[in-house]
Structure formats: structure tokens, C-alpha cells
């Protein structure tokens, strides 16, 4: 048998064809010279398998899609608080190249718009890192996310830097207010270089999946950043990644995402998959027209919306039986989280104190998160204090043996 997933992705291409809708980004002259008919789509799975269709090996510049990754590097290098002190995390509701600053502090509204990304760029590396070293850190960092050394497009860089008047004005503004203390020209050069790395949709899908796994590249196995950094980046992508279309995107597509004026969009669905689309014609927000259509379609067809409620109707307690001696056996199932563990604790609460055996069977439990683990351990400890012998059936050894951990093991 052949998996139908590639056939489905091939079909998407035809279904999302937008004809000649949209225009090329002409404020960067070199970007106006690309073939507008290109289309590519890739999906990276948790185990690093990448499905791709269309012009999946065609390289284009990463542009604003570099922003979440460089934000991740700044968070890694300076810590979340130090970065938050310089760049806020509020959606601006304005276009990517607007001067969107917080009134009270002068901090750029968020790291996904240009003024915030210029500031974030200056926060990569240790304080005092110079232009050359910062470039090296960014080149190595973006490449670690992609799992291969990314090339650089000097022509696009030159084309953009010659006309980067607006970005230069913004870098000078954050320098004037001392949000940054570096030379603004150096920051504009570095930021413009960060936008000129070359990627394919395959690269972007792997980069997205690296964020979606909590920081481990699924292809190379390398840990690039921590889960806490990924959570911060994904949150900011979800609220600010699509600029003044962020609310619309979140409600229709529901995947944390970032677009670039080269025509790429990538999306990272936490724990599930990394997606990337490429098609150069842009809408009025600067997002790829066919890219947006593709994400809308994929989200709808494959139930990828982050706010989809799946599995909430699964019974947490698969069965609860009482044996001849009055012993109780609870067979639990599904994921154990705060909400499901709370239901289990309430069932424990109904067991009268006494010397019976209480068996807690986790064989059909899929996952136990940190909080649920603590809750179940405490519940079993309290059953022990009530005089019960607690027996844990836990083939995957996700909880400690209650007989060993309980300070007052009953009936032993
Ligand atoms: N390099 C581009 C700029 O600074 C990136 C913008 C984008 O992709 N939205 O204008």
C-alpha cells in the first residue's frame, strides 16, 4: 500500500490555485524578478519525514519568516525577561512596516513586525557581540533549525539594503530612544542579511517542526532551543505572526504561523506537524495569496485548528469494578492532564476509608503530564492514609510504585 498523504498534497495545489490574484513584492526590486507561477508545499512529521509537492526544491529568501527563529535565538541568548524588557508581545493590528511602539515604554509592540525584529536582531548573542559574530550566530542558528547549512542570497541582500530607507528610519528611532544601544546602520545591515538566507519549503517545514517539537530538530535530533523558548515563540506567532490579519488567521486557520514577502508562509502546530507553502503573489497584508488559501484548506480538511476540541468526550475512567472483598479497580484511559486527573481524584474521594485494595490501572492511559502525575501520586498517597492497599498497574512505569513512595503504606 502507498500512503495517500502525498496524493492529497498534490491535489491541494490544484484546489488552491488563485490564478493571477495578488502582486509581487516590488519594494525589494530583486523580489519582483521571480517567477510568479511557482507553487510549493511541504509538511514535516514528528519523526522528520517530509512530504513535499510542487517546486519544493526551489530556494527563495526567508525574509520575515526569519523573525520567529531569530527571536528564539535572542530568547536563548539573553533570557525571556531581558528580551521582554526591549520588545513587547502585543499584536499591533498594523502592517509589518509600521512604527508600532508601546506608548508608555517605547518598546516595539512585538518581534514579528519590522521595528520589533530590528530590535530583536540586536539581542542575539551576549551583550557586546559585534556585527560579524552576530551574523555567524544567526547563520548557525537558522541552519540548526533547518538541519542543513543555509545559503545566502547576496543579490537580494544588496537589492534590499539599497532601498531600506524605512527600516533604517526605524532602527534610528529605537536607537534614539535607547531601546537599542548598537549602531543602527549595523543593525539594519544584519537584519537585512538575516532576511536573505535561502530556504525551500522543505527547510521551512523542518524549521517549523523544530518549534512544534519543543526545540529538537526532527531530522538531525539536535536540540536547538528549549521547550520554554518554543512556547514563547509559538505564542507570539499565534498572536502577531500574520500582522494585521492575525485575528482572521487565528480564527480561520488556527495554526501559529509566519509569512514573508518572498511568498512563503510556514506554520507550526504544537506536537503535530510543521507546514510550509510558497507562492510569490501577495495580498494587501504581504501574505502569499495561494499560501493563505492552502493553509485555510489544509486546516479545514485535516482538522488542524489549534482550538479544535478533540477527544473531550472520552471517559477517563474506562471501568470501575468492585471485587468480592470490596476491593476497587479503576482502569483509566486517554491522556492524563489536570482536567482528567481531577475526575479520577473525585472518584477516589468516593471510596470509604478501610483496608480494601484499590487498584489503579494505567495500561490504557496514553500520556501523563507533569501536573496529572503529581495529582495521581497524591491521590494514591491519600488512599494509603485512609488505610487502603494501593496497587498500581503501570506497564510503562510512568508513576512511582505507591507502596514505595507512600509514607504510610497500608495493609503491608
Ligand atoms: N526584509 C523584509 C523587510 O524588512 C521583510 C518583510 C517581510 O517579509 N514581511 O521589509
Range of the domain at 388: 317-393
Same domain, 294 and 323: no
d(CA 339, CA 287): 38
Q: Which atom of ligand 1 is nearest to the CA of 196?
A: 1
Query: 329 C-alpha vs ligand 1 centroid, how far in Å?
Result: 60
Query: 233 C-alpha vs ligand 1 centroid, how far in Å?
Result: 18
Catalytic residue among 51, 64, 87, 358: 64
- Which of 301, 329, 346 terminates a domain? The answer is 301
- Which of 259, 276, 301 terminates a domain? The answer is 301
Same domain, 256 and 326: no
Query: 51 C-alpha vs ligand 1 centroid, how far in Å?
Result: 27
Tens place of pLDDT for every residue, the chain, 412 residues? 999 999 999 999 889 988 889 999 988 888 888 999 999 999 999 999 999 999 999 999 999 999 999 999 999 999 999 999 999 999 999 999 999 999 999 999 999 999 999 999 999 999 999 999 999 999 999 999 999 999 999 999 999 999 999 999 999 999 999 999 999 999 999 999 999 999 999 999 999 999 999 999 999 999 999 999 999 999 999 999 999 999 999 999 999 999 999 999 999 999 999 999 999 999 999 999 999 999 999 999 999 999 998 777 789 999 999 999 889 999 999 999 999 999 999 999 999 998 999 999 999 999 999 999 999 999 999 999 999 999 999 999 999 988 765 444 444 4
The total number of structural domains in the chain stands at 2
Other CB atoms within 10 A of residue 211 CB? 28
The cell for 26 is 516590488
Ligand 1 binding pocket (C-beta < 6 A) is 63-64, 96-97, 114, 160, 167, 195, 260-261, 286
Catalytic residue among 67, 89, 156, 224: 67
Same domain, 237 and 374: no
Same domain, 120 and 243: yes
Query: 339 C-alpha vs ligand 1 centroid, how far in Å?
Result: 42
In contact, 34 and 24? CB cutoff 8 Å: yes
Domain assignment of residue 389, yes or no = yes
Q: Which of the listed residues 60, 111, 114 should we mutate to test ligand 1's pocket, taking the one with most ligand atoms within 8 A of CB? A: 114
Query: 367 C-alpha vs ligand 1 centroid, how far in Å?
Result: 41
Distant-in-sequence, close-in-space partners of 128: CB < 8 Å, separation ≥ 6:
none
d(CA 263, CA 265): 7
Same domain, 337 and 271: no
71 is catalytic: no
- The domain spanning residue 46 has which CATH number? 3.40.710.10
86 is catalytic: no
Q: Which of the listed residues 63, 92, 116, 204 should we mutate to test ligand 1's pocket, taking the one with most ligand atoms within 8 A of CB? A: 63
Domain assignment of residue 169, yes or no = yes
Same domain, 172 and 267: yes
DSSP letter at 327 equals: -
Domain assignment of residue 309, yes or no = no
Cα angle for residues 80, 201, 60 (degrees, 5° grid): 90
Domain assignment of residue 407, yes or no = no
The cell for 146 is 533547518
Element housing 212 (H / E):
helix 201-212
Same domain, 58 and 112: yes
- Which of 276, 301, 326 terminates a domain? The answer is 301
Domain assignment of residue 70, yes or no = yes
Write the CA distances from 378 to 294, 357, 407, integer angstroms: 47, 17, 11
284 is catalytic: no
In contact, 80 and 59? CB cutoff 8 Å: no
Same domain, 80 and 165: yes
Same domain, 323 and 276: no
Domain assignment of residue 384, yes or no = yes
Same domain, 78 and 226: yes
Domain assignment of residue 352, yes or no = yes
In contact, 380 and 402? CB cutoff 8 Å: yes
Catalytic residue among 87, 243, 299, 344: 243
Q: Which atom of ligand 1 is nearest to the CA of 97?
A: 10
Domain assignment of residue 189, yes or no = yes
225 is catalytic: no
Query: 28 C-alpha vs ligand 1 centroid, how far in Å?
Result: 9
Place of cell 516590488: 26
Same domain, 293 and 339: no
Nearest to 111 by CA among 130, 88, 93, 133: 88
pTM value is: 0.91
Same domain, 35 and 113: yes
Amino acid at each position: 500500500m502507498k500512503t495517500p498523504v502525498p496524493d492529497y498534497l498534490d491535489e491541494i495545489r490544484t484546489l488552491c490555485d488563485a490564478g493571477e490574484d495578488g502582486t509581487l513584492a516590488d519594494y525589494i526590486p530583486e523580489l519582483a524578478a521571480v517567477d510568479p507561477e511557482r507553487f510549493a508545499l511541504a509538511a514535516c512529521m514528528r519523526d522528520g519525514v517530509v512530504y513535499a509537492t510542487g517546486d519544493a526544491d526551489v530556494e527563495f529568501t526567508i525574509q520575515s519568516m526569519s523573525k520567529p527563529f531569530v527571536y528564539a535565538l535572542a530568547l536563548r541568548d539573553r533570557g525571556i525577561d531581558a528580551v521582554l524588557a526591549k520588545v513587547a508581545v502585543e499584536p499591533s493590528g498594523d502592517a509589518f512596516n509600521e512604527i508600532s511602539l508601546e506608548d508608555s515604554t517605547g518598546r516595539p509592540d512585538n518581534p514579528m513586525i519590522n521595528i520589533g525584529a530590528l530590535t530583536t536582531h540586536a539581542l542575539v548573542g551576549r551583550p557586546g557581540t559585534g556585527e560579524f559574530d552576530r551574523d555567524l550566530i544567526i547563520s548557525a542558528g537558522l541552519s540548526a533549525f533547518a538541519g542543513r547549512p543555509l545559503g545566502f542570497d547576496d543579490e537580494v541582500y544588496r537589492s534590499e539594503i539599497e532601498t531600506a530607507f524605512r527600516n533604517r528610519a526605524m532602527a534610528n528611532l529605537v536607537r534614539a530612544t535607547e531601546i537599542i544601544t548598537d549602531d543602527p546602520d549595523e543593525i539594519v545591515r544584519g537584519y537585512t542579511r538575516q532576511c536573505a538566507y535561502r530556504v525551500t519549503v522543505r527547510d521551512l517545514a523542518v524549521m517549523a517542526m523544530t518549534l512544534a517539537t519543543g526545540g529538537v530538530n526532527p531530522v538531525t535530533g539536535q536540540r536547538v532551543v528549549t521547550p520554554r523558548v518554543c512556547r514563547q515563540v509559538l505564542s507570539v506567532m499565534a498572536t502577531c505572526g500574520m500582522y494585521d490579519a492575525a485575528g482572521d488567521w487565528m480564527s480561520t486557520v488556527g495554526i501559529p504561523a509566519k509569512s514573508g514577502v518572498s511568498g512563503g508562509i510556514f506554520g507550526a502546530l504544537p506536537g503535530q506537524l510543521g507546514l510550509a507553502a510558497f507562492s510569490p503573489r501577495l495580498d494587501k497584508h504581504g501574505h502569499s495569496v495561494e499560501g493563505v488559501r492552502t493553509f485555510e484548506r489544509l486546516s479545514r480538511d485535516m482538522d488542524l485548528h489549534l482550538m479544535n476540541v478533540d477527544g473531550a468526550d472520552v471517559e477517563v475512567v474506562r471501568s470501575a469494578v468492585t471485587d468480592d472483598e470490596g476491593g476497587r479497580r479503576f482502569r483509566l484511559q486517554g491522556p492524563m492532564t489536570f482536567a482528567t486527573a481531577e475526575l479520577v481524584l473525585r472518584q477516589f474521594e468516593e471510596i470509604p476509608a478501610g483496608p480494601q485494595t484499590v487498584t489503579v490501572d494505567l495500561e490504557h492511559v496514553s500520556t501523563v503530564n507533569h501536573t496529572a502525575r503529581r495529582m495521581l501520586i497524591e491521590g494514591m498517597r491519600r488512599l494509603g492514609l485512609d488505610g487502603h492497599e494501593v496497587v498500581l498497574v503501570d506497564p510503562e512505569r510512568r508513576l512511582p510504585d505507591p507502596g514505595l513512595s507512600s509514607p504510610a503504606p497500608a495493609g503491608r
